[in-house]
Amino acid sequence: MNLPSTRPVSVGIDGSAESQAALEWAAREATRRGVPLRLAHAWMEESLFVPTPPDENVARRLLEQAEAEVSAGHPELTVSTRLVPDTAASGLVDESSEAELLVLGSRGHGAVVGFLVGSVGQPVIAHAHCPVVSVRAVEARRTTEGDEVVVGLRDLGPDSGRLLDFAFTSAAVRGATVRAVHVWGAPSMFGSDVPDMLQQRGHQPVEDQQAALLSEALAPWRERHPAVPVVEHLRFGNASEELLAATSHRAALLIVGRRLHRPRLSLHIGGVAHAALHHAACPVAVVPYG
């Protein structure tokens, strides 16, 4: 399925197993979307005390080898490279301004320990201009992918548009279902019995209102993508817990949002996005919005 965008899927590589998994995932995603793939490597080191002088030739050979490997495995792809004369975090944020999406590798040790976002991933996710997908090394060993794209929706107004656009596009190119998760109410210390208790005391109208708002937010995207099945997943409780539970074993991708217009030096991406990156068992896309 070819989409109208010609912006590339970009992937940050550094020669690690994690970036190799990110590269393979990015190649598949670029193929699905019918867009070019660009390999980016920022070769300058952070200036801590007396850093080791960077070697541009080594960096260039790394890119050339990665390009050769991915081109051999995906001959249908248009592949290019970009050697960025900057530090990794700054260079990849700059790369994100020209990309459809940016893919990064993340170290992970299973769903409990989860993603270790690291000194590069955190600032890139916090300040990237496009969606950033974090991929764990385990993805390189997967032979099958889930059949749902799960998207967490905190806001059901116009601000949800960027997340839903990304979710429906990602589902359409996979032939997958969109599971739209909206959690209403405050996190509770009382456990799973609280929703029933609240409903018995007259909170059913609130849930009905949230259900109507969720359906209204999804309606334009259902119309644009009539072939994409949709599950409306409405829950009361803790947003992070409910969203992670919704991924189950069927999620091919989990999509969460982060607010734009953060202070330049801030690394804050929001509690739900942070929990998703640390604990989700599938790739996680963080989409800037607002």
Q: Which residues contact 40 (CB under 8 A, 6 or more apart)?
A: 10, 11, 12, 13, 81, 82, 84, 91, 92, 95
Q: What is the pLDDT of residues 39-74, one digit of tens each?
A: 999 877 655 444 555 678 888 999 999 999 999 999
For the chain, domain boundaries: 9-141, 148-289
Task: Specify the higher pLDDT residue, 155 or 189.
Answer: 155
- Distance CA(95)–CA(179), nearest Å, equals 30
**pLDDT of 225 strictly over 50:** yes
Quick one: 243 exposed, middle or buried, by C-beta within 10 A (0-12, 13-18, 19+)? Answer: buried
Q: What is the pLDDT of residues 272-284, one digit of tens each?
A: 998 999 889 899 9
- Distance CA(108)–CA(279), nearest Å, equals 9
Looking at 1.20.1250.10, 3.40.640.10, 3.40.50.620, 3.50.50.60, the CATH number of the domain 148-289 comes to 3.40.50.620
* Mean pLDDT of the 150-155 span: 94
**Class of domain 9-141 (CATH, top level):** alpha beta
**pLDDT of 2 strictly over 80:** no
Task: Specify the higher pLDDT residue, 75 or 1.
Answer: 75
Alpha carbon of residue 215 to chain centroid:
23
Here the tokens at position 269 are: 């991406």
What pLDDT, on the 0 to 100 scale, is given for residue 255? 98
Helical ranges in the chain per DSSP H:
17-33, 56-73, 88-96, 118-127, 161-174, 194-198, 204-224, 239-247, 271-279
Give the predicted TM-score (pTM) of the model.
0.87
Residue 278's nearest CA partner among 116, 102, 118, 110 is: 116
